[in-house]
Structure 1
Amino acid sequence: MDSLTPQDLFSPSKARQQRAQAADWAQIDSWLSYKYAGRTVPTFERNEETLKVLRELASANERADEERMVAERVEREADKEMKARSKDGEDGDGDGDGEDILATLRHHLTDEGLESLHALASTAIALNTPTTNPETLAHALIAHTSTSQTLTNNLAHIRTLQSYLQHQQSLLRAQLTALQHDPAFSTPPSIQRQTTEQVRQTKHLRSRIREYEDKLSSLQNGQRSAVTPASKNVSSTEAIADMLEQQAELEALRTKVESLEREVARFAGLPADREAARKEVARLEVELDEVRKRRDALFEGLVG
Protein backbone atom coordinates (compact mmCIF):
# COMPACT_ATOMS: atom_id res chain seq x y z
CA MET A 1 0.00 0.00 0.00
CA ASP A 2 2.96 2.33 0.51
CA SER A 3 3.69 2.25 -3.24
CA LEU A 4 0.29 3.73 -4.18
CA THR A 5 0.57 6.94 -6.15
CA PRO A 6 -1.99 9.79 -6.13
CA GLN A 7 -3.22 8.58 -9.55
CA ASP A 8 -3.82 5.07 -8.15
CA LEU A 9 -6.27 6.48 -5.59
CA PHE A 10 -8.62 7.26 -8.46
CA SER A 11 -8.06 3.84 -10.21
CA PRO A 12 -9.96 1.03 -8.43
CA SER A 13 -8.32 -1.68 -10.58
CA LYS A 14 -4.79 -0.56 -9.67
CA ALA A 15 -5.77 -0.25 -6.04
CA ARG A 16 -7.12 -3.82 -6.04
CA GLN A 17 -3.94 -5.02 -7.73
CA GLN A 18 -1.79 -3.31 -5.12
CA ARG A 19 -3.86 -4.80 -2.29
CA ALA A 20 -3.59 -8.29 -3.84
CA GLN A 21 0.19 -7.94 -4.14
CA ALA A 22 0.42 -6.70 -0.57
CA ALA A 23 -1.57 -9.75 0.60
CA ASP A 24 0.68 -12.06 -1.43
CA TRP A 25 3.80 -10.47 0.03
CA ALA A 26 2.36 -10.84 3.53
CA GLN A 27 1.74 -14.55 2.85
CA ILE A 28 5.25 -15.01 1.44
CA ASP A 29 6.80 -13.21 4.43
CA SER A 30 4.87 -15.47 6.80
CA TRP A 31 5.96 -18.58 4.88
CA LEU A 32 9.63 -17.51 4.82
CA SER A 33 9.56 -16.70 8.54
CA TYR A 34 8.16 -20.18 9.25
CA LYS A 35 10.78 -21.86 7.05
CA TYR A 36 13.70 -19.96 8.54
CA ALA A 37 12.41 -20.72 12.09
CA GLY A 38 13.56 -17.56 13.86
CA ARG A 39 16.62 -16.91 11.67
CA THR A 40 16.99 -13.71 9.69
CA VAL A 41 15.37 -13.90 6.28
CA PRO A 42 17.84 -12.82 3.54
CA THR A 43 17.07 -9.54 1.84
CA PHE A 44 15.97 -9.60 -1.80
CA GLU A 45 14.45 -7.30 -4.37
CA ARG A 46 10.67 -7.08 -4.14
CA ASN A 47 9.21 -7.00 -7.62
CA GLU A 48 6.59 -8.90 -9.57
CA GLU A 49 9.02 -11.50 -10.96
CA THR A 50 10.37 -12.30 -7.48
CA LEU A 51 6.82 -12.54 -6.13
CA LYS A 52 5.83 -14.92 -8.92
CA VAL A 53 8.81 -17.20 -8.30
CA LEU A 54 8.24 -17.22 -4.54
CA ARG A 55 4.53 -18.04 -5.00
CA GLU A 56 5.44 -20.99 -7.25
CA LEU A 57 8.08 -22.12 -4.76
CA ALA A 58 5.60 -21.93 -1.87
CA SER A 59 3.01 -23.90 -3.85
CA ALA A 60 5.55 -26.59 -4.76
CA ASN A 61 6.63 -26.77 -1.12
CA GLU A 62 3.04 -27.20 0.04
CA ARG A 63 2.46 -29.98 -2.50
CA ALA A 64 5.62 -31.75 -1.39
CA ASP A 65 4.53 -31.46 2.25
CA GLU A 66 1.14 -32.91 1.39
CA GLU A 67 2.72 -35.82 -0.52
CA ARG A 68 5.07 -36.48 2.39
CA MET A 69 2.16 -36.45 4.84
CA VAL A 70 0.24 -38.92 2.64
CA ALA A 71 3.26 -41.21 2.44
CA GLU A 72 3.76 -41.03 6.20
CA ARG A 73 0.07 -41.77 6.81
CA VAL A 74 0.25 -44.78 4.50
CA GLU A 75 3.38 -46.02 6.26
CA ARG A 76 1.69 -45.64 9.65
CA GLU A 77 -1.39 -47.52 8.47
CA ALA A 78 0.72 -50.28 6.98
CA ASP A 79 2.73 -50.51 10.18
CA LYS A 80 -0.50 -50.74 12.21
CA GLU A 81 -1.81 -53.54 9.99
CA MET A 82 1.44 -55.47 10.28
CA LYS A 83 1.45 -55.10 14.06
CA ALA A 84 -2.21 -56.16 14.22
CA ARG A 85 -1.50 -59.26 12.15
CA SER A 86 1.47 -60.17 14.29
CA LYS A 87 -0.62 -59.82 17.46
CA ASP A 88 -3.47 -61.91 16.04
CA GLY A 89 -0.96 -64.68 15.34
CA GLU A 90 -1.84 -65.16 11.74
CA ASP A 91 0.22 -67.78 10.00
CA GLY A 92 0.99 -67.80 6.30
CA ASP A 93 3.57 -67.40 3.66
CA GLY A 94 5.84 -64.35 3.94
CA ASP A 95 5.52 -63.59 0.25
CA GLY A 96 1.75 -63.50 0.63
CA ASP A 97 2.01 -60.95 3.46
CA GLY A 98 4.28 -58.80 1.34
CA GLU A 99 1.84 -58.96 -1.53
CA ASP A 100 -1.02 -57.99 0.79
CA ILE A 101 0.96 -55.01 2.08
CA LEU A 102 1.82 -53.97 -1.45
CA ALA A 103 -1.80 -54.34 -2.48
CA THR A 104 -2.89 -52.27 0.52
CA LEU A 105 -0.40 -49.53 -0.35
CA ARG A 106 -1.58 -49.47 -3.93
CA HIS A 107 -5.20 -49.40 -2.83
CA HIS A 108 -4.70 -46.38 -0.58
CA LEU A 109 -2.52 -44.43 -3.01
CA THR A 110 -3.86 -42.25 -5.80
CA ASP A 111 -2.78 -42.67 -9.40
CA GLU A 112 -0.39 -39.77 -9.00
CA GLY A 113 0.98 -41.30 -5.80
CA LEU A 114 1.51 -44.68 -7.51
CA GLU A 115 3.31 -42.97 -10.38
CA SER A 116 5.50 -41.02 -7.93
CA LEU A 117 6.26 -44.18 -5.93
CA HIS A 118 7.23 -46.06 -9.09
CA ALA A 119 9.42 -43.15 -10.26
CA LEU A 120 11.12 -42.94 -6.85
CA ALA A 121 11.83 -46.68 -6.77
CA SER A 122 13.11 -46.71 -10.36
CA THR A 123 15.39 -43.72 -9.66
CA ALA A 124 16.81 -45.35 -6.52
CA ILE A 125 17.53 -48.58 -8.42
CA ALA A 126 19.11 -46.74 -11.39
CA LEU A 127 21.32 -44.64 -9.11
CA ASN A 128 22.15 -47.64 -6.85
CA THR A 129 21.42 -45.70 -3.68
CA PRO A 130 20.78 -47.45 -0.33
CA THR A 131 17.81 -45.22 0.46
CA THR A 132 14.96 -43.45 -1.31
CA ASN A 133 15.54 -40.18 0.47
CA PRO A 134 14.96 -37.43 -2.14
CA GLU A 135 17.96 -35.46 -0.92
CA THR A 136 20.22 -38.51 -1.22
CA LEU A 137 18.84 -39.21 -4.71
CA ALA A 138 19.44 -35.59 -5.72
CA HIS A 139 23.06 -35.70 -4.55
CA ALA A 140 23.62 -39.03 -6.31
CA LEU A 141 22.08 -37.70 -9.52
CA ILE A 142 24.27 -34.58 -9.39
CA ALA A 143 27.37 -36.71 -8.78
CA HIS A 144 26.49 -39.02 -11.70
CA THR A 145 25.84 -36.05 -13.98
CA SER A 146 29.13 -34.39 -13.02
CA THR A 147 31.05 -37.63 -13.52
CA SER A 148 29.40 -38.20 -16.90
CA GLN A 149 30.24 -34.69 -18.05
CA THR A 150 33.84 -35.03 -16.85
CA LEU A 151 34.23 -38.35 -18.66
CA THR A 152 32.72 -36.89 -21.81
CA ASN A 153 35.18 -33.97 -21.75
CA ASN A 154 38.11 -36.30 -21.06
CA LEU A 155 37.03 -38.59 -23.91
CA ALA A 156 36.85 -35.65 -26.32
CA HIS A 157 40.31 -34.50 -25.17
CA ILE A 158 41.73 -38.01 -25.61
CA ARG A 159 40.24 -38.30 -29.09
CA THR A 160 41.76 -34.96 -30.09
CA LEU A 161 45.12 -36.01 -28.66
CA GLN A 162 44.90 -39.37 -30.42
CA SER A 163 44.22 -37.68 -33.74
CA TYR A 164 47.20 -35.35 -33.21
CA LEU A 165 49.49 -38.26 -32.28
CA GLN A 166 48.40 -40.26 -35.31
CA HIS A 167 49.15 -37.27 -37.53
CA GLN A 168 52.57 -36.78 -35.92
CA GLN A 169 53.28 -40.51 -36.24
CA SER A 170 52.52 -40.43 -39.96
CA LEU A 171 54.82 -37.40 -40.37
CA LEU A 172 57.62 -39.12 -38.44
CA ARG A 173 57.27 -42.28 -40.52
CA ALA A 174 57.46 -40.21 -43.70
CA GLN A 175 60.57 -38.42 -42.42
CA LEU A 176 62.17 -41.73 -41.38
CA THR A 177 61.47 -43.19 -44.82
CA ALA A 178 63.04 -40.12 -46.43
CA LEU A 179 66.12 -40.40 -44.19
CA GLN A 180 66.50 -44.09 -45.00
CA HIS A 181 66.04 -43.89 -48.79
CA ASP A 182 66.96 -40.35 -49.84
CA PRO A 183 70.50 -40.31 -51.28
CA ALA A 184 71.00 -36.79 -49.89
CA PHE A 185 71.04 -38.19 -46.33
CA SER A 186 73.30 -41.18 -47.08
CA THR A 187 77.03 -41.19 -46.37
CA PRO A 188 79.06 -40.67 -49.57
CA PRO A 189 81.42 -43.54 -50.44
CA SER A 190 84.45 -41.25 -50.52
CA ILE A 191 83.90 -39.83 -47.03
CA GLN A 192 86.85 -41.70 -45.52
CA ARG A 193 89.24 -40.60 -48.25
CA GLN A 194 88.03 -36.98 -48.13
CA THR A 195 88.33 -36.85 -44.35
CA THR A 196 91.85 -38.27 -44.42
CA GLU A 197 92.93 -35.87 -47.17
CA GLN A 198 91.46 -32.83 -45.41
CA VAL A 199 93.09 -33.77 -42.11
CA ARG A 200 96.44 -34.17 -43.90
CA GLN A 201 96.08 -30.82 -45.64
CA THR A 202 95.13 -29.15 -42.39
CA LYS A 203 98.23 -30.49 -40.63
CA HIS A 204 100.43 -29.47 -43.55
CA LEU A 205 99.02 -25.95 -43.70
CA ARG A 206 99.36 -25.51 -39.95
CA SER A 207 103.04 -26.45 -40.17
CA ARG A 208 103.48 -24.03 -43.07
CA ILE A 209 101.79 -21.27 -41.08
CA ARG A 210 104.13 -21.82 -38.13
CA GLU A 211 107.11 -21.86 -40.53
CA TYR A 212 106.09 -18.55 -42.13
CA GLU A 213 105.40 -17.02 -38.76
CA ASP A 214 108.92 -17.97 -37.63
CA LYS A 215 110.45 -16.55 -40.83
CA LEU A 216 108.48 -13.34 -40.45
CA SER A 217 109.63 -12.97 -36.88
CA SER A 218 113.27 -13.60 -37.79
CA LEU A 219 113.06 -11.13 -40.68
CA GLN A 220 111.62 -8.47 -38.45
CA ASN A 221 114.32 -9.05 -35.83
CA GLY A 222 117.11 -9.07 -38.48
CA GLN A 223 115.77 -5.91 -40.05
CA ARG A 224 115.77 -4.07 -36.75
CA SER A 225 119.40 -5.14 -36.00
CA ALA A 226 121.03 -4.93 -39.52
CA VAL A 227 119.66 -1.69 -40.97
CA THR A 228 122.28 1.12 -41.23
CA PRO A 229 121.55 4.82 -41.63
CA ALA A 230 122.84 4.77 -45.25
CA SER A 231 120.75 1.82 -46.39
CA LYS A 232 117.84 2.46 -44.09
CA ASN A 233 115.50 3.75 -46.76
CA VAL A 234 116.27 1.02 -49.38
CA SER A 235 116.28 -1.89 -46.96
CA SER A 236 113.16 -0.70 -45.23
CA THR A 237 111.27 -0.45 -48.56
CA GLU A 238 112.35 -3.92 -49.70
CA ALA A 239 111.66 -5.40 -46.28
CA ILE A 240 108.24 -3.83 -46.13
CA ALA A 241 107.35 -5.13 -49.61
CA ASP A 242 108.63 -8.60 -48.73
CA MET A 243 106.81 -8.52 -45.43
CA LEU A 244 103.55 -7.43 -47.07
CA GLU A 245 103.85 -10.20 -49.65
CA GLN A 246 104.49 -12.81 -46.97
CA GLN A 247 101.68 -11.44 -44.86
CA ALA A 248 99.26 -11.69 -47.80
CA GLU A 249 100.38 -15.27 -48.42
CA LEU A 250 99.99 -16.01 -44.72
CA GLU A 251 96.44 -14.60 -44.70
CA ALA A 252 95.55 -16.69 -47.76
CA LEU A 253 96.89 -19.83 -46.10
CA ARG A 254 95.04 -19.01 -42.87
CA THR A 255 91.78 -18.52 -44.79
CA LYS A 256 92.27 -21.85 -46.55
CA VAL A 257 93.01 -23.59 -43.24
CA GLU A 258 89.88 -22.14 -41.66
CA SER A 259 87.79 -23.30 -44.63
CA LEU A 260 89.23 -26.81 -44.36
CA GLU A 261 88.63 -26.84 -40.61
CA ARG A 262 84.96 -25.91 -41.17
CA GLU A 263 84.59 -28.72 -43.70
CA VAL A 264 86.23 -31.22 -41.35
CA ALA A 265 84.04 -30.03 -38.44
CA ARG A 266 80.97 -31.21 -40.33
CA PHE A 267 82.19 -34.78 -39.90
CA ALA A 268 83.43 -34.32 -36.34
CA GLY A 269 82.70 -37.28 -34.13
CA LEU A 270 82.21 -39.78 -36.99
CA PRO A 271 84.56 -42.76 -37.11
CA ALA A 272 86.88 -43.18 -40.05
CA ASP A 273 85.33 -46.51 -41.08
CA ARG A 274 82.35 -46.15 -43.44
CA GLU A 275 80.20 -48.85 -41.76
CA ALA A 276 80.95 -47.42 -38.34
CA ALA A 277 80.00 -43.96 -39.60
CA ARG A 278 76.67 -45.31 -40.88
CA LYS A 279 75.98 -46.92 -37.51
CA GLU A 280 76.75 -43.62 -35.81
CA VAL A 281 74.29 -41.84 -38.14
CA ALA A 282 71.62 -44.46 -37.31
CA ARG A 283 72.24 -43.91 -33.59
CA LEU A 284 71.84 -40.16 -34.04
CA GLU A 285 68.55 -40.80 -35.86
CA VAL A 286 67.31 -42.79 -32.84
CA GLU A 287 68.31 -39.91 -30.56
CA LEU A 288 66.45 -37.53 -32.88
CA ASP A 289 63.31 -39.69 -32.53
CA GLU A 290 63.64 -39.63 -28.73
CA VAL A 291 63.99 -35.83 -28.74
CA ARG A 292 60.87 -35.55 -30.89
CA LYS A 293 58.99 -37.85 -28.51
CA ARG A 294 59.99 -35.63 -25.58
CA ARG A 295 58.84 -32.62 -27.58
CA ASP A 296 55.47 -34.30 -28.22
CA ALA A 297 55.18 -35.18 -24.52
CA LEU A 298 55.80 -31.54 -23.57
CA PHE A 299 53.21 -30.43 -26.09
CA GLU A 300 50.76 -32.96 -24.68
CA GLY A 301 51.37 -31.52 -21.20
CA LEU A 302 50.68 -28.02 -22.52
CA VAL A 303 47.43 -29.17 -24.16
CA GLY A 304 46.36 -30.89 -20.90
Structure 2
Amino acid sequence: MDNLTPSDLFSPSKARQQRAQAQDWAHIDSWLSYKYAGRTVPTFERNEETLKVLRELSMANERADEERAVLERVEREALKELDEVEKNEDDERILSTLEASLTPEGEQALDALASTAVALNAPTADAQTMAHILIQHTMTAQNLTNQLAHIQTLQNYLDKQQSLLRTQLDELQTNPAFATPSNLARQTTEQTRQVKHLRAKIREHEDKLSSLQSSQSRSMTPGSQHIGSPEAISEMLEQQKALNALREKVERLEREVDEFAGLPADREAARKEVGKLEVKLDELRRRRDELFEGLVKR
Protein backbone atom coordinates (compact mmCIF):
# COMPACT_ATOMS: atom_id res chain seq x y z
CA MET A 1 0.00 0.00 0.00
CA ASP A 2 2.99 2.31 0.26
CA ASN A 3 3.29 2.66 -3.51
CA LEU A 4 -0.21 4.09 -4.00
CA THR A 5 -0.19 7.25 -6.06
CA PRO A 6 -2.69 10.10 -5.66
CA SER A 7 -4.42 9.02 -8.88
CA ASP A 8 -4.94 5.52 -7.44
CA LEU A 9 -6.99 6.93 -4.58
CA PHE A 10 -9.62 7.99 -7.13
CA SER A 11 -9.49 4.69 -9.06
CA PRO A 12 -11.38 1.86 -7.27
CA SER A 13 -9.95 -0.81 -9.57
CA LYS A 14 -6.33 0.21 -8.93
CA ALA A 15 -6.93 0.50 -5.20
CA ARG A 16 -8.53 -2.95 -5.16
CA GLN A 17 -5.58 -4.36 -7.09
CA GLN A 18 -3.12 -2.79 -4.66
CA ARG A 19 -5.01 -4.28 -1.69
CA ALA A 20 -4.97 -7.74 -3.30
CA GLN A 21 -1.20 -7.49 -3.92
CA ALA A 22 -0.63 -6.37 -0.32
CA GLN A 23 -2.58 -9.39 0.96
CA ASP A 24 -0.61 -11.73 -1.33
CA TRP A 25 2.70 -10.29 -0.10
CA ALA A 26 1.57 -10.70 3.52
CA HIS A 27 0.72 -14.36 2.84
CA ILE A 28 4.09 -14.91 1.08
CA ASP A 29 6.01 -13.29 3.96
CA SER A 30 4.21 -15.47 6.50
CA TRP A 31 4.85 -18.61 4.44
CA LEU A 32 8.56 -17.81 3.99
CA SER A 33 8.96 -17.07 7.71
CA TYR A 34 7.41 -20.45 8.53
CA LYS A 35 9.58 -22.29 6.01
CA TYR A 36 12.84 -20.68 7.20
CA ALA A 37 11.91 -21.39 10.84
CA GLY A 38 13.54 -18.37 12.46
CA ARG A 39 16.34 -17.99 9.93
CA THR A 40 16.75 -14.80 7.93
CA VAL A 41 14.73 -14.77 4.73
CA PRO A 42 16.96 -13.85 1.74
CA THR A 43 16.27 -10.50 0.17
CA PHE A 44 14.70 -10.41 -3.29
CA GLU A 45 13.15 -7.89 -5.64
CA ARG A 46 9.47 -7.31 -4.96
CA ASN A 47 7.68 -7.03 -8.28
CA GLU A 48 4.70 -8.65 -9.95
CA GLU A 49 6.69 -11.45 -11.61
CA THR A 50 8.36 -12.43 -8.32
CA LEU A 51 4.99 -12.33 -6.55
CA LYS A 52 3.45 -14.58 -9.21
CA VAL A 53 6.25 -17.17 -8.93
CA LEU A 54 6.22 -17.19 -5.12
CA ARG A 55 2.42 -17.48 -5.08
CA GLU A 56 2.53 -20.51 -7.41
CA LEU A 57 5.34 -22.03 -5.33
CA SER A 58 3.43 -21.60 -2.07
CA MET A 59 0.29 -23.13 -3.60
CA ALA A 60 2.29 -26.11 -4.90
CA ASN A 61 3.91 -26.53 -1.48
CA GLU A 62 0.56 -26.43 0.27
CA ARG A 63 -0.83 -29.06 -2.10
CA ALA A 64 2.21 -31.26 -1.46
CA ASP A 65 1.75 -30.87 2.31
CA GLU A 66 -1.91 -31.84 2.00
CA GLU A 67 -1.07 -34.89 -0.10
CA ARG A 68 1.61 -35.95 2.40
CA ALA A 69 -0.81 -35.51 5.29
CA VAL A 70 -3.44 -37.63 3.50
CA LEU A 71 -0.85 -40.33 2.77
CA GLU A 72 0.32 -40.40 6.39
CA ARG A 73 -3.29 -40.65 7.62
CA VAL A 74 -3.95 -43.57 5.22
CA GLU A 75 -0.79 -45.34 6.41
CA ARG A 76 -1.76 -44.89 10.05
CA GLU A 77 -5.24 -46.25 9.39
CA ALA A 78 -3.80 -49.23 7.49
CA LEU A 79 -1.42 -50.05 10.34
CA LYS A 80 -4.26 -49.70 12.79
CA GLU A 81 -6.36 -52.15 10.76
CA LEU A 82 -3.46 -54.60 10.61
CA ASP A 83 -3.03 -54.41 14.37
CA GLU A 84 -6.73 -55.05 14.87
CA VAL A 85 -6.77 -58.21 12.71
CA GLU A 86 -7.26 -61.26 14.88
CA LYS A 87 -4.41 -63.72 14.84
CA ASN A 88 -5.20 -67.26 13.69
CA GLU A 89 -3.63 -69.83 16.04
CA ASP A 90 -3.69 -72.50 13.30
CA ASP A 91 -1.58 -70.30 11.02
CA GLU A 92 0.95 -69.79 13.82
CA ARG A 93 1.05 -73.51 14.49
CA ILE A 94 1.51 -74.35 10.81
CA LEU A 95 4.26 -71.73 10.51
CA SER A 96 6.05 -73.06 13.58
CA THR A 97 5.82 -76.63 12.27
CA LEU A 98 7.11 -75.53 8.86
CA GLU A 99 10.04 -73.62 10.36
CA ALA A 100 10.93 -76.60 12.56
CA SER A 101 10.91 -78.91 9.54
CA LEU A 102 13.15 -76.73 7.40
CA THR A 103 16.88 -77.11 7.12
CA PRO A 104 19.04 -74.05 7.94
CA GLU A 105 19.42 -73.39 4.23
CA GLY A 106 15.69 -73.69 3.68
CA GLU A 107 14.98 -71.39 6.60
CA GLN A 108 17.36 -68.80 5.17
CA ALA A 109 15.70 -69.13 1.75
CA LEU A 110 12.24 -68.70 3.31
CA ASP A 111 13.39 -65.63 5.25
CA ALA A 112 14.94 -64.17 2.09
CA LEU A 113 11.75 -64.83 0.09
CA ALA A 114 9.59 -63.27 2.79
CA SER A 115 11.89 -60.24 3.18
CA THR A 116 11.94 -59.74 -0.59
CA ALA A 117 8.14 -59.93 -0.83
CA VAL A 118 7.78 -57.41 1.99
CA ALA A 119 10.42 -55.08 0.53
CA LEU A 120 8.79 -55.22 -2.90
CA ASN A 121 5.31 -54.89 -1.40
CA ALA A 122 4.27 -57.93 -3.44
CA PRO A 123 0.76 -59.34 -2.90
CA THR A 124 2.10 -62.93 -3.07
CA ALA A 125 5.44 -64.69 -2.80
CA ASP A 126 5.21 -65.97 -6.38
CA ALA A 127 8.63 -65.79 -7.99
CA GLN A 128 7.30 -64.56 -11.37
CA THR A 129 5.23 -61.82 -9.74
CA MET A 130 8.18 -60.65 -7.66
CA ALA A 131 10.40 -60.73 -10.77
CA HIS A 132 8.02 -58.41 -12.62
CA ILE A 133 7.83 -56.10 -9.63
CA LEU A 134 11.62 -56.12 -9.28
CA ILE A 135 12.02 -55.21 -12.98
CA GLN A 136 9.50 -52.40 -12.60
CA HIS A 137 11.35 -51.07 -9.55
CA THR A 138 14.65 -51.29 -11.45
CA MET A 139 13.23 -49.27 -14.36
CA THR A 140 11.80 -46.69 -11.96
CA ALA A 141 15.12 -46.42 -10.16
CA GLN A 142 16.95 -45.94 -13.48
CA ASN A 143 14.52 -43.24 -14.60
CA LEU A 144 14.91 -41.45 -11.28
CA THR A 145 18.69 -41.68 -11.60
CA ASN A 146 18.58 -40.13 -15.06
CA GLN A 147 16.27 -37.39 -13.85
CA LEU A 148 18.54 -36.67 -10.90
CA ALA A 149 21.53 -36.44 -13.24
CA HIS A 150 19.62 -34.02 -15.48
CA ILE A 151 18.56 -31.95 -12.48
CA GLN A 152 22.14 -31.89 -11.21
CA THR A 153 23.38 -30.66 -14.60
CA LEU A 154 20.67 -28.01 -14.63
CA GLN A 155 21.59 -27.01 -11.09
CA ASN A 156 25.25 -26.62 -12.06
CA TYR A 157 24.26 -24.46 -15.04
CA LEU A 158 22.03 -22.31 -12.86
CA ASP A 159 24.84 -21.91 -10.31
CA LYS A 160 27.20 -20.73 -13.06
CA GLN A 161 24.60 -18.30 -14.40
CA GLN A 162 23.93 -17.00 -10.92
CA SER A 163 27.64 -16.45 -10.34
CA LEU A 164 27.92 -14.66 -13.68
CA LEU A 165 24.92 -12.45 -12.89
CA ARG A 166 26.33 -11.59 -9.47
CA THR A 167 29.62 -10.63 -11.11
CA GLN A 168 27.82 -8.44 -13.63
CA LEU A 169 25.71 -6.89 -10.87
CA ASP A 170 28.82 -6.12 -8.85
CA GLU A 171 30.39 -4.59 -11.97
CA LEU A 172 27.33 -2.40 -12.51
CA GLN A 173 27.35 -1.29 -8.88
CA THR A 174 31.07 -0.59 -8.54
CA ASN A 175 32.26 0.50 -12.01
CA PRO A 176 32.33 4.31 -12.26
CA ALA A 177 31.44 4.07 -15.95
CA PHE A 178 27.92 2.94 -15.01
CA ALA A 179 27.47 5.53 -12.28
CA THR A 180 24.84 8.22 -12.67
CA PRO A 181 26.42 11.53 -13.80
CA SER A 182 26.49 14.19 -11.12
CA ASN A 183 25.00 16.76 -13.48
CA LEU A 184 22.18 14.50 -14.65
CA ALA A 185 19.50 16.70 -13.13
CA ARG A 186 20.94 19.80 -14.80
CA GLN A 187 21.22 18.02 -18.16
CA THR A 188 17.63 16.82 -17.88
CA THR A 189 16.43 20.34 -17.07
CA GLU A 190 18.42 21.81 -19.96
CA GLN A 191 17.13 19.21 -22.43
CA THR A 192 13.57 19.77 -21.24
CA ARG A 193 13.98 23.51 -21.77
CA GLN A 194 15.40 22.95 -25.26
CA VAL A 195 12.52 20.63 -26.13
CA LYS A 196 9.98 23.24 -25.05
CA HIS A 197 11.82 25.92 -27.04
CA LEU A 198 11.93 23.74 -30.16
CA ARG A 199 8.25 22.89 -29.83
CA ALA A 200 7.41 26.59 -29.65
CA LYS A 201 9.57 27.22 -32.75
CA ILE A 202 7.84 24.38 -34.59
CA ARG A 203 4.40 25.80 -33.78
CA GLU A 204 5.57 29.26 -34.89
CA HIS A 205 6.85 27.97 -38.23
CA GLU A 206 3.72 25.90 -38.73
CA ASP A 207 1.61 29.03 -38.20
CA LYS A 208 3.76 30.95 -40.70
CA LEU A 209 3.47 28.15 -43.25
CA SER A 210 -0.30 28.02 -42.83
CA SER A 211 -0.49 31.81 -43.27
CA LEU A 212 1.62 31.68 -46.44
CA GLN A 213 -0.47 28.87 -47.87
CA SER A 214 -3.67 30.79 -47.13
CA SER A 215 -2.38 34.01 -48.74
CA GLN A 216 -1.15 32.08 -51.77
CA SER A 217 -4.53 30.40 -52.15
CA ARG A 218 -6.30 33.76 -52.06
CA SER A 219 -3.90 35.34 -54.61
CA MET A 220 -4.18 32.54 -57.16
CA THR A 221 -6.72 32.83 -60.00
CA PRO A 222 -9.25 30.04 -60.56
CA GLY A 223 -7.29 28.88 -63.59
CA SER A 224 -3.94 28.92 -61.86
CA GLN A 225 -5.12 26.95 -58.83
CA HIS A 226 -4.84 23.76 -60.85
CA ILE A 227 -1.56 24.64 -62.56
CA GLY A 228 0.28 21.92 -60.72
CA SER A 229 -2.16 19.17 -61.69
CA PRO A 230 -1.02 16.36 -64.05
CA GLU A 231 -3.49 17.47 -66.73
CA ALA A 232 -2.17 21.05 -66.69
CA ILE A 233 1.43 19.84 -66.90
CA SER A 234 0.61 17.56 -69.85
CA GLU A 235 -1.14 20.42 -71.65
CA MET A 236 1.85 22.71 -71.07
CA LEU A 237 4.19 20.08 -72.55
CA GLU A 238 2.01 19.77 -75.67
CA GLN A 239 1.96 23.56 -76.08
CA GLN A 240 5.74 23.65 -75.69
CA LYS A 241 6.14 21.06 -78.49
CA ALA A 242 3.81 23.04 -80.80
CA LEU A 243 5.74 26.23 -80.02
CA ASN A 244 9.08 24.54 -80.86
CA ALA A 245 7.70 23.28 -84.22
CA LEU A 246 6.41 26.76 -85.06
CA ARG A 247 9.78 28.30 -84.16
CA GLU A 248 11.61 25.85 -86.48
CA LYS A 249 9.21 26.69 -89.34
CA VAL A 250 9.79 30.46 -88.85
CA GLU A 251 13.57 29.98 -88.81
CA ARG A 252 13.38 27.95 -92.08
CA LEU A 253 11.32 30.68 -93.75
CA GLU A 254 13.75 33.32 -92.52
CA ARG A 255 16.65 31.41 -94.13
CA GLU A 256 14.74 31.22 -97.40
CA VAL A 257 13.97 34.96 -97.25
CA ASP A 258 17.64 35.72 -96.55
CA GLU A 259 18.54 34.16 -99.90
CA PHE A 260 16.64 36.99 -101.65
CA ALA A 261 18.30 39.76 -99.65
CA GLY A 262 19.41 42.79 -101.76
CA LEU A 263 16.61 42.46 -104.36
CA PRO A 264 14.34 45.47 -105.00
CA ALA A 265 11.05 45.59 -103.18
CA ASP A 266 9.13 45.94 -106.49
CA ARG A 267 8.22 42.61 -108.06
CA GLU A 268 8.96 43.54 -111.72
CA ALA A 269 12.27 45.18 -110.80
CA ALA A 270 13.17 42.12 -108.77
CA ARG A 271 12.35 39.83 -111.68
CA LYS A 272 14.59 41.92 -114.02
CA GLU A 273 17.38 41.77 -111.46
CA VAL A 274 16.98 38.01 -111.19
CA GLY A 275 17.08 37.77 -115.02
CA LYS A 276 20.32 39.72 -115.15
CA LEU A 277 21.79 37.46 -112.48
CA GLU A 278 20.72 34.37 -114.41
CA VAL A 279 22.43 35.72 -117.61
CA LYS A 280 25.56 36.41 -115.61
CA LEU A 281 25.35 32.91 -114.13
CA ASP A 282 25.13 31.41 -117.61
CA GLU A 283 28.20 33.38 -118.74
CA LEU A 284 30.12 32.15 -115.71
CA ARG A 285 29.15 28.56 -116.45
CA ARG A 286 30.22 28.92 -120.09
CA ARG A 287 33.53 30.46 -119.02
CA ARG A 288 34.04 27.58 -116.61
CA ASP A 289 33.40 25.03 -119.31
CA GLU A 290 35.86 26.68 -121.65
CA LEU A 291 38.56 26.72 -119.00
CA PHE A 292 37.94 23.07 -118.30
CA GLU A 293 38.24 22.14 -122.01
CA GLY A 294 41.49 24.12 -122.29
CA LEU A 295 42.91 22.14 -119.39
CA VAL A 296 41.87 18.86 -120.98
CA LYS A 297 43.57 19.67 -124.32
CA ARG A 298 46.84 20.39 -122.58
TM-score category, normalised to shorter length: 0.3 to 0.5
Q: TM-score, normalised by structure 1?
A: 0.35
Q: TM-score, normalised by structure 2?
A: 0.36
Greater Cα radius of gyration, structure 1 or 2: 2
RCO higher in structure (CA 8 A, sep ≥6) = 1
